[in-house]
Amino acid sequence: MSGIIFSEVTRTFKRDKGGDYVALQPISLQIPDGEFVAIVGPSGCGKTTLLRMVAGLDSPSSGALTVGGREVSGPGPDRAVVFQQFALLPWKTVRENIGFGLKCRGMRAAAIRPLVDHYLTMMQLEAHADAYPHQLSGGMQQRVAIARSFILEPSVLLMDEPFGALDAQTRIEMQEELVKLTKAKPRTVLFITHSVEEATYLADRVVVMAGRPGSILEIVDVASLRRSESWNDRAVEEVMELESFTRIRTRLWRLLRTVDRSADGRKTPQLSIAS
């Protein structure tokens, strides 16, 4: 229903002064329905480009990209995006921001209101329902952004370093909340982050990318460990102390380091199960 399939997708940009810049070498990746995939990699490796293509804000130069079996033809509420800088409308209240997507759909104000109230409660924003974004902290603004996306019941959730602008404490709280939300209603998630810990804690699989031009270095499976050791039932601090967690995290770190020093060359994706 909402699986994402990349088939030999490339992206080339034209430089201002002439010539081409290859952002992505042929990428092939299959993300089944409901899977949480994190993408890590150095700056400029093309991970944001990948996300934008799924969102419909950009399109492949070659290759095919399908979501739920259909080709992507533009942005839409079925593939909600949460941005690092929140992108809330400054001239609308929290309530109006959350309900914006529903308004675009043509829903009447009376029908929108109870839905927005539900999400206000869920994200603990009731006290700020009529405040304006500039009056809220970063964490609260991101909650509004997430509520704005979730209220549309998207089948795919695209998150581009959503917690990057938050302080460390808020970040961890948001990670826990995200786990709760996706546990309640599993959906396909593409999550970009620089933080290896964050990727390990949240994802079923972590895709490590190499950069310039972008390609997939390796894919690390986390889901099996999460299930066997019941990470979801433990608090964040507990999980981070587990040996299995540390091993995966270190492995990801090592991969990222080799990326910085490696030469160009196609790297075939390898699925490895961290044992």
Partner 1 sequence: MSDGASETGRRSVGLTALSVLSVSGFLGIWFAVAQSGLLPKMVLPSPWDVVTAFQHSLYTPFAGATMSQHLVASLGRFLSGFLLAVALGVPTGLLMGWFAPFRYAIAPFFETFRFIAPLAWVPFAALWFGTGIGGPILIVFSGSFAAAVINTFQGARMTDPRLIEACRTLGASPWRLIIDVLLPSATPSIIAGVRIAAALGWQSLIGAELIVASSGVGYLIVQGQGSVETPIVMAGMATIGVVGLLIDWALRLVELSVTRNWRGA
Contact footprint for partner 1 (CB under 8 A) = 55-57, 74-77, 79-81, 83, 85, 87, 89-92, 100-101, 103-105, 132-135, 148-149, 152
Is the Cβ–Cβ distance between 142 and 166 less than 8 Å? yes
DSSP string across the chain:
---EEEEEEEEEEE-TTSSEEEEEEEEEEEE-TT-EEEEE--TTSSHHHHHHHHHTSS--SEEEEEETTEE--S--TTEEEE-TT----TTS-HHHHHTHHHHHHT--HHHHHHHHHHHHHHTT-GGGTT--GGGS-HHHHHHHHHHHHHTT--SEEEEESTTTTS-HHHHHHHHHHHHHHHHHS--EEEEE-S-HHHHHHH-SEEEEEETTTBEEEEEEE-HHHHHHHTGGGS-HHHHHHSHHHHHHHHHHHHHHHHHHH---------EEE--
| Minimum distance of partner 1 from residue 132's CB (angstroms) | 5
| Minimum distance of partner 1 from residue 149's CB (angstroms) | 8
Nearer to partner 1, 4 or 80 (CB): 80
Nearer to partner 1, 19 or 106 (CB): 106
| Minimum distance of partner 1 from residue 15's CB (angstroms) | 20
Nearer to partner 1, 155 or 200 (CB): 155
Nearer to partner 1, 38 or 98 (CB): 98
| Minimum distance of partner 1 from residue 144's CB (angstroms) | 12
Nearer to partner 1, 67 or 216 (CB): 67
| Minimum distance of partner 1 from residue 16's CB (angstroms) | 18
| Minimum distance of partner 1 from residue 87's CB (angstroms) | 4
| Minimum distance of partner 1 from residue 105's CB (angstroms) | 6
Cis peptide before 213 (omega within 30 of 0): yes
Nearer to partner 1, 54 or 217 (CB): 54
Alpha-carbon distances of 269 from 28, 117, 145, 188, rounded to whole Å: 9, 44, 33, 20
Is the Cβ–Cβ distance between 67 and 2 less than 8 Å? yes
Nearer to partner 1, 54 or 222 (CB): 54
| Minimum distance of partner 1 from residue 35's CB (angstroms) | 21
What gap in Å lies between CA 59 and CA 52, rounded to an integer?
Answer: 8
Nearer to partner 1, 99 or 213 (CB): 99
